Amino acid sequence: MRTFSFRFGRTSCLLISALLVGCLAVACQPGGNDSGGIHAQSKRFTFVRGKNQLLRIESATGRVWAVPENGDGGWVELKQAPGPDGEPETPGRYGLFSIVDRLNIAPNRLLLVDRATGRSWLREASGGRVWNRVGDAGDAADEEAPLPPAPAPKREASRPPAPQADKLPVVSRAVLNASGGDDPQKIKVVVEALQKPGLAIEIRVWAAKQLSVFDPEVAVPPLRKALNDDQPEIVIAAIGSLSQLGDATTIPAITALKSHPDPRVQEAASRALSGGN
């Protein structure tokens, strides 16, 4: 009987404690009008992972701090962050994003956005000292931009102009080696850009040309697949890269393109087979 009474008493205490905690939780819940404010206050600081560093932003003011991943030196504020310009400071107003170049060619950057007005700023993640404003289209004081002119009707026989792929230069092997990082990751980024149908054709053409600086064993398979692409510009770029790589196993596939419906592809195939550039 004593054992039973002891267990019964302990169980009763636990049940009563649980009920009290539940009642207090219900009583302390904010009303429907205040729930958004309480949630926003809990987001005073947000944290972003950059390359080799951690970033902290005070979401009400836009102030940003950085610290190395190992924590050496503690948090250091990134000065000259844009302020709210006299507008009320609201938790959750500012957001921070880390833009990392996966090819390790361009500098890594930070993007600071003002969710209340649509303004945004960019700066280099390391070594930069100034937040540069991105455009002015989000300002409420700006005048309405004129509508673009209606495109001229195209004739059925006309072809779209060739993309200006030369604006995206091919990065040399020496620059890639000096940039650091792993080759498999760099190749993966380039191949994904080549094979993504919805991507701008200029970028896909660049990707086909960029593969020419990698080793044939990794560059030839995606380029061989690109010979069957629906876009003639992609096929032409792939032919040029395969010609530079000099893989003899691709000669039959390039020879078959001499009967391609697009004369530009026919010309590129003939030029590659004859040893022309």
pLDDT in tens, 136-146: 544 444 444 55
Q: Is the pLDDT of residue 53 over 50?
A: yes
Considering only 143-147, 186-190, 269-273, which range has the smallest mean pLDDT? 143-147
Task: Give start and end residues of each alpha helix (H) in the chain.
Answer: 2-28, 35-41, 173-178, 183-195, 201-210, 216-226, 232-245, 251-256, 263-273
CB 251 within 8 A of CB 242: no
pLDDT, position 206: 94
SS3 call for 169: coil
Sheet of 76-78: strand order equals 45-50, 53-58, 64-68, 76-78
Q: What are phi and psi of 50, to 5 degrees?
A: -105, -165
Tell me what the pLDDT averaged over the chain comes to.
75
Rounded Cα–Cα distance for residues 167 and 203 (Å): 10
The 10 Å Cβ neighbour count of residue 60 is 19
Rounded Cα–Cα distance for residues 270 and 191 (Å): 25
The larger pLDDT score, comparing residue 112 to residue 267, is at: 267
Q: Is the pLDDT of residue 220 over 90?
A: yes
pLDDT, position 254: 94
Res. 10 pLDDT band, cuts 50 70 90: low
Per-residue pLDDT of 105-156, as tens digits, reads 667 788 888 887 878 888 887 767 788 888 754 444 444 455 566 666 555 4
Res. 22 pLDDT band, cuts 50 70 90: very low
With b for 16 or more beta-carbon neighbours within 10 A and e for fewer, the 15-35 pattern comes to eeeeeeeeeeeeeeeeeeeee
Q: Is the pLDDT of residue 27 over 50?
A: no
From 35, 215, 30, 57, select the one nearest 123 (Cα to Cα). Answer: 57
Rounded Cα–Cα distance for residues 95 and 47 (Å): 10
What does the DSSP 8-state code read for residue 136? S
